[in-house]
Structure 1
Amino acid sequence: MASDDERENVYLVYNKIAGWFSENRPTELIEKAHLDDLIYHIPADGHVLDLGCGTGQPILQYLISKNLKVTGVDASKEILSIARKNFPESEFLLEDMRHLHLNQKFDAIIAWHSFFHLPINDQPAMFELFEKHLNINGILLFTSGTELGEAWGMNGGENLFHASLNTENYSQLLKQHHFKVLKHVVNDPDCGHANVWMARFCG
């Protein structure tokens, strides 16, 4: 079992498995339909903040292929070093998303299979950070669970922590922080059974 520190800071586990993750993370773009929805709602030259960007493949890679500017953020220095080698022209920041203060606003924020690594108690505060870093009418795209609880998964021989609020909690947090839900897809069979949220920041 992972240590308490690795439970609170999952990026420490990603530092251990960075090479394995880079080699084994599926590169088929099963997220394409959701990314295309996001692209539809933002300017053609929009700037996207990819929180928990990993190695940049395949999501950041797809977005830059669509001529969007993407800033990648990850708290794992080992993962980020791979991302920088993969995409040397892109901007990457070594940051814990929970402490993000960029003094910059974006047209979209993506937290795809990253936000759900945060402990339950840390997740509500993220919605204020999402709010602070989005332009009016900006789009938030993230994945979550559907029920309140914690789970562990095995990746690269290491235990990896996941947590979720319940669906009503997320709905309330989005409303509280001035987001309008554009879609909520549960257990998407075409996207690895992900639970996907897309919301517009209304200001």
Structure 2
Amino acid sequence: MEKGERKNVYQVYNKIGDWFAENRYADSVERAYLDAIIEQLPPIASMLDVGCGNGKPILEYFITHNIRAVGIDGSEKMIELARNNFPDTRLMLLDMRQMQLGEKFDVIIAWHSFFHLPAEDQPAMFEVFRDHLKPDGFLLFTSGTERGEAWGMNGGENLFHASLATEEYRLLLESNHFVVLKHQVNDPDCGGANVWMAKYKPQ
């Protein structure tokens, strides 16, 4: 099996964007995690969807709850689809590793996006997440369970995934002043996702 783009996986989504939009499960299996966060947010809240894709279902879910939603994605195709779906929402073509928005949010979500980064690029992202969160802000992301790389076919393209070890993620969260609220391994109700939910608690 031919392996493809490793460093900038978002470029693959330029090729498979339409396929992804058609085949991404429509029901929000992430809803239990999203609801757990939404019920704790202040009356006027904001969220940042890192790797927002076409905006469905996560960005859409926050919009329907009257939360100011902002999305970024490195793929031109996915941002185009998201803008078609949500023309009134602020959406930016941006590599998450280059994120310097100069603002802070109540929630940052990197669902099935962060794990496309090479392992060597992942640790620095926790500083980026931290710098874009308000105190007591929430971080929700998915990862693997052990250090390594994996490839998976999607829409005829081989997609790269990488992970650090679970303990590495814990240490990165702690060193950036996050408190882990939940770590669910292979959630059967969520497509087998490995989910981290944390809260930013600056000292």
**TM-score for the superposition, normalised by structure 1:** 0.97
Q: 1:63 & 1:195 partners in 2: Cα distance?
A: 21
Aligned to 2:172: 173
8 Å CA contact 1:38–1:141 kept in 2: the answer is: no
**1:147-190: per-residue Cα shift (whole Å, max 9, x none)?**
00000000000000000001100000000000000111111111
Aligned to 1:150: 149
Q: 1:106 & 1:195 partners in 2: Cα distance?
A: 23
Q: 1:57 & 1:116 partners in 2: Cα distance?
A: 18
Q: 1:168 & 1:41 partners in 2: Cα distance?
A: 27
Return the offset for 1:45. 2.1
Name the SS of the counterpart of 1:187 in structure 2: strand
Name the SS of the counterpart of 1:136 in structure 2: strand
Name the SS of the counterpart of 1:190 in structure 2: helix
Q: 1:44 & 1:85 partners in 2: Cα distance?
A: 28
**Gapped runs of 5+ residues in structure 1?**
none
Aligned to 1:99: 98
8 Å CA contact 2:3–2:151 kept in 1: the answer is: no
**Where has structure 1 moved over 4 Å in runs of 4 or more?**
none
8 Å CA contact 1:42–1:139 kept in 2: the answer is: no
User: What is the letter of the counterpart of residue 185 of structure 2?
Assistant: V
Aligned to 1:28: 27
Q: 1:55 & 1:44 partners in 2: Cα distance?
A: 26
Return the offset for 1:13. 0.4
User: What is the letter of the counterpart of residue 157 of structure 1?
Assistant: G
Aligned to 1:17: 16
Aligned to 2:76: 77
User: What is the letter of the counterpart of residue 155 of structure 1?
Assistant: N
The aligned length equals 201
Identity %: 60
Please state if 1:134 is matched with 2:127. no
Aligned to 1:191: 190
User: What is the letter of the counterpart of residue 127 of structure 2?
Assistant: E
Q: 1:147 & 1:182 partners in 2: Cα distance?
A: 20
Return the offset for 1:41. 2.5
Aligned to 2:52: 53
8 Å CA contact 2:107–2:138 kept in 1: the answer is: yes
Q: 2:39 & 2:50 partners in 1: Cα distance?
A: 20
Q: 1:111 & 1:37 partners in 2: Cα distance?
A: 16
Q: 1:169 & 1:81 partners in 2: Cα distance?
A: 35
Return the offset for 1:42. 1.9
Q: 1:2 & 1:151 partners in 2: Cα distance?
A: 10
Q: 2:20 & 2:78 partners in 1: Cα distance?
A: 8
Name the SS of the counterpart of 2:107 in structure 1: strand
**TM-score for the superposition, normalised by structure 2:** 0.97
What root-mean-square deviation, in Å, do the aligned CA atoms of Structure 1 and Structure 2 show? 0.7
**Gapped runs of 5+ residues in structure 2?**
none
Aligned to 1:116: 115
Q: 2:31 & 2:66 partners in 1: Cα distance?
A: 15
Return the offset for 1:44. 2.8
